[in-house]
Amino acid sequence: MKNVVLGLARNEHVKRFAVAFPPARAVVDRFVPGETTDDALDAVRRLSASGIHATLDHLGEYAGTTELVDAQVAEYLRLLERLGAEGLSGWAEVSVKASALGLALPDGQRVSLANALRICAAADAVGTTVTIDMEDHADTDATIALVEACREEFPRTGGVLQAMLKRTTDDCLRLSGPGSRTRICKGAYDEPASVAHTKSADIKRAYLTCLRILLRGDGYPMIATHDPALIKAAQEYLDLLDRPVDSYEFQLLYGVRPGEERRLAAAGHTVRVYVPYGTDWYGYFVRRLAEKSSNFGLLVRALLSRA
Ligand SMILES: Cc1cc2nc3c(=O)[nH]c(=O)nc-3n(C[C@H](O)[C@H](O)[C@H](O)COP(=O)(O)OP(=O)(O)OC[C@H]3O[C@@H](n4cnc5c(N)ncnc54)[C@H](O)[C@@H]3O)c2cc1C
């Protein structure tokens, strides 16, 4: 079921239908707080009122033309300027995707690095950071190379590793050095069994192994999951290692478990919520549907109620 739903993410016919259909939008609102920079900043203000940080993602993956890539970069620069001007840069950083910065264009590694460096410089100028999301396994090497290249000039650039990939234990060792901001997540893409664990129990086990490596390392682990068992294991491990509260953070996606965000923040942990915004919400939304069958039910009910 999960793979069928993920397959929809790249189906242009289904995409055109969903985007043009208002009931779908009503369900999307749960996971995407809005389309504009103002909507994103409002979400940061609301979260910060509860002591919760944000990482803002301007939706627009797989940008296939120079114009689309340039528009993405321009929006990130505008967003960072406003975070600084409106006194919110202590509460929010940005998350960017290599595919939105031009990785798929000719000479993509050079183009995406140049764009990532511009965004990192703008973030640095207002006192915040950038994390480079991880996409499907074909781009893992290129994305880690991008993170490492950005870190030469901006050492606080964050990277992301996906526990479901069989290679990730080695990558955790590579990204657990001093100061290394590394988000560990399960992985949201439809990956083949040749490179990825496909059973839920195996992915969980791999996540725990990654967590142990990162929490024992000298970096700044960013524990990205909604899974109650993994959150509990992380808390126990943090206690055991006596890790200072400013040396790691928990991360959740906007709209998935708001109660858990507040519970973790009230327990004294740094919590950061991943806030996507923009008009190009389709691919992100389909991945959220694939993660939980009840989300799919929400959508079906919304469609039926207007039919
Ligand atoms: C901050 C953050 C950043 C991320 N960045 C990336 C990235 O760069 N690359 C990437 O591939 N993936 C990324 N992901 C997604 C991640 O890989 C998983 O696909 C996603 O987090 C679901 O896995 P889970 O660990 O939450 O556990 P799951 O097994 O999916 O969920 C465990 C429990 O959490 C709750 N839950 C989980 N998801 C939902 C949902 N959508 N709606 C409602 N309840 C839910 C349910 O109670 C569920 O039983 C990110 C996730 C987070 C939290």
Which domains are present in the chain?
32-280 (3.20.20.220)
Contact call for residues 156 and 181 (beta carbons, < 8 A): yes
Question: Could you tell me which residues come within 8 angstroms of residue 260 by beta carbon, excluding any fewer than 6 positions away?
Answer: 226, 228, 231, 252
Question: Could you tell me which residues come within 8 angstroms of residue 62 by beta carbon, excluding any fewer than 6 positions away?
Answer: 99, 100, 104, 283
Residue 306 has pLDDT above 50, yes or no: no
Q: Which stretches does DSSP call E strand in 63-133?
A: 92-96, 130-132
Average pLDDT estimate for 106-121: 97
For the chain, the C-alpha Rg in angstroms (whole number) is 18
User: What pLDDT, on the 0 to 100 scale, is given for residue 19?
Assistant: 64
Q: Distance, CA 280 to ligand 1 centroid (Å)?
A: 20
Residue 302 has pLDDT above 70, yes or no: no
DSSP-derived 3-state class of residue 28 = helix
Q: How far apart are CA 243 and CA 276, in angstroms?
A: 30
Question: Could you tell me which residues come within 8 angstroms of residue 82 by beta carbon, excluding any fewer than 6 positions away?
Answer: 37, 41, 88
Model confidence at 285, pLDDT cuts 50, 70, 90, reads confident
What are the counts of helices (DSSP H) followed by strands (DSSP E) for the chain? 13, 8
List, in sequence order, every residue forming a beta bridge with 271; answer none if it has no partner.
250
What predicted TM-score, i.e. pTM, was given to this entire model? Answer: 0.92
Name the residue with higher pLDDT: 63 or 67.
Answer: 67
For the CA atoms of 95, 98, 102, 107, the dihedral, rounded to the nearest 10 degrees, stands at 150
User: What pLDDT, on the 0 to 100 scale, is given for residue 64?
Assistant: 87
Ligand 1 pocket member 260 (CB < 6 A): no
Contact call for residues 101 and 115 (beta carbons, < 8 A): yes
Question: Could you tell me which residues come within 8 angstroms of residue 92 by beta carbon, excluding any fewer than 6 positions away?
Answer: 44, 53, 54, 55, 56, 83, 128, 275
Residue 183 has pLDDT above 70, yes or no: yes
Contact call for residues 128 and 94 (beta carbons, < 8 A): yes
Residue 209 has which token pair?
């192994």
Model confidence at 20, pLDDT cuts 50, 70, 90, reads low
Q: What is the mean pLDDT of the chain?
A: 91
Catalytic-labelled residue, pool 151, 156, 183, 288: 183
Q: Distance, CA 107 to ligand 1 centroid (Å)?
A: 32
Q: Which stretches does DSSP call E strand in the chain?
A: 53-58, 92-96, 130-132, 159-162, 181-185, 220-224, 249-253, 271-277
Q: Distance, CA 226 to ligand 1 centroid (Å)?
A: 6
Q: Is 183 tagged catalytic?
A: yes
Contact call for residues 109 and 103 (beta carbons, < 8 A): yes
Among protein residues, the one whose CA lies closest to atom 9 of ligand 1: 134
